[in-house]
Amino acid sequence: MNQYQQKILLMLSVITLFGCNYSLGVQAQSSEESQDASVFRLPPQPSADTLAIPLTYKLETYNSQIMEESRTYGVSLPPGYDENLTQHYPVIFLLHGGHGNPQDWFAKKGGALNTLQKLYVSGKLPPSIVITPDGNDNRGSSPYWDPQYIDGPHGKVSTALGHELVKVVKDRYRTIPNPDFWAIGGLSSGGWGAMNVGLHNLNNFSILFSHSGYFKDSSGPQNSPITYIKTITPQITKRLRVYLDSGKLDTEDLAQAQQFSQVLRQQRVYNMFREFPGSHTWNYWREHLADSLTFVGEQFKVAQVAHSAENLGLNLSKNTKNTEHF
């Protein structure tokens, strides 16, 4: 955790007591301004009874003008979503890997519902809207190729996910619209896809995470995060937060993650890189999804403190010169 995060997390209790109710004590503030401020508040910890209800997911479809077809995504709504009709929620996109589909993370092999429930109970992750997009291009799913999370000859998948689907989710669900409360991550080619889609849509995502991903793509530097990140100005990347992990036996992806983390540090992008025992398997991804989502939860909380401090008129810069992750 960097010094900036330590500082503002120490302020969390103060912000919670005073910042969240600040609009009530300012007579000159309009009701519209009060409503706008409330949108940026993370949901409170649900009750024990609410948390005891098992999480579910369902598949939804939408008409994609970009891909010129009907597209599918999975969605798991947070505990208490149907009861708390004024509450807005952060959003997490989870991308599948090669020969995958929107059900992979929610199915038994991904175990995401169980992981989410444990993180909600522990308070490590605020209740969130979790979306699992279809990342396959117009060629469909195949064991002979990875999905292309790019705008390429087989479809503009990057724009379809990072822009079009974002709009669909904002229209259909009560989201916190600010990109500081939107995360995108995935496994294997989905880990690369999360970085690629995220970096090309930083107006919609601030938090990126990858399990066993690679960061160089055969389509060129435009879709190779390890190169493309160098073209993005510091003014844009200063609020970017990145989590990377890979198994120690997954040597090729591990080496790429180490290299990408070094490049991120050189570019002064806040990032965390971790390596764990294991290899390129669902056992590994299922076990370590909790690590990436815990990181995501920490960043959501940091963002709330920063926005609450801003509402109070405090000037907390998101830049820091001393951090263990640079």
325 within domain boundaries: no
pLDDT at 28 over 50: no
> Confidence band (pLDDT; 50, 70, 90) for 171?
very high
pLDDT of residue 322: 37
What residue has token string 């929620």? 89
pLDDT at 23 over 60: no
Angle at CA of residue 56, ends 52 and 60, nearest 5°: 155
Residue type, 264: L
Q: Give the tens place of pLDDT for each residue, 215-247.
A: 999 999 999 999 999 999 999 999 999 999 999
Cite the DSSP H helix spans in 132-245: 157-159, 166-172, 189-199, 225-228, 234-237
Structure tokens that stand for 177 in this block: 């619209």
Q: Give the tens place of pLDDT for each residue, 39-57.
A: 778 999 999 999 999 999 9
Mean pLDDT of 295-308: 94
Mean pLDDT of 173-189: 98
16 or 278: which leads in pLDDT: 278
pLDDT of residue 316: 53
Structure tokens that stand for 98 in this block: 């090669």
321 within domain boundaries: no
pLDDT of residue 36: 56
Which among 117, 176, 197, 152 has a CA at the least distance from the CA of 304? 176
206 or 323: which leads in pLDDT: 206
Burial of 140 (0-12, 13-18, 19+ CB in 10 A): exposed
> Confidence band (pLDDT; 50, 70, 90) for 38?
low
Domain, as residue range, for 160:
3-311
Residues with Cβ within 8 Å of 302's Cβ and at least 6 positions away in sequence, in order, are 5, 8, 9
CA 321: distance to chain centroid? 24
Residues with Cβ within 8 Å of 91's Cβ and at least 6 positions away in sequence, in order, are 128, 129, 130, 131, 169, 173, 175, 176, 181, 182, 183
Where residue 254 sits, what CATH number does that domain have? 3.40.50.1820
273 within domain boundaries: yes
318 within domain boundaries: no
Cite the DSSP H helix spans in the chain: 3-10, 12-14, 31-39, 48-51, 112-122, 157-159, 166-172, 189-199, 225-228, 234-237, 251-266, 282-311
> Would you say 324 and 4 are in contact if contact means Cβ atoms under 8 Å apart?
no
Check residue 192 and report its DSSP letter. H
227 within domain boundaries: yes
pLDDT of residue 119: 98
Q: Give the tens place of pLDDT for each residue, 57-90.
A: 999 999 999 999 999 999 999 999 999 999 999 9
> Confidence band (pLDDT; 50, 70, 90) for 313?
low
The tally of domains found in the chain comes to 1
322 within domain boundaries: no
pLDDT at 317 over 60: no
Distance CA 17, CA 13 (A): 6
Mean of per-residue pLDDT scores for the chain: 88
pLDDT of residue 309: 80
326 within domain boundaries: no
pLDDT at 189 over 90: yes
Sheet holding 241-247, edge to edge: 58-64, 69-76, 129-133, 91-95, 182-187, 207-211, 241-247, 270-276
Looking at the chain, the whole-number percentage of residues with pLDDT higher than 70 is 84
Distance CA 20, CA 40 (A): 10
77 or 319: which leads in pLDDT: 77
305 within domain boundaries: yes
Q: Give the tens place of pLDDT for each residue, 84-142.
A: 999 999 999 999 999 999 999 999 999 999 999 999 999 999 999 999 999 999 998 99
pLDDT at 21 over 70: no
pLDDT of residue 308: 82
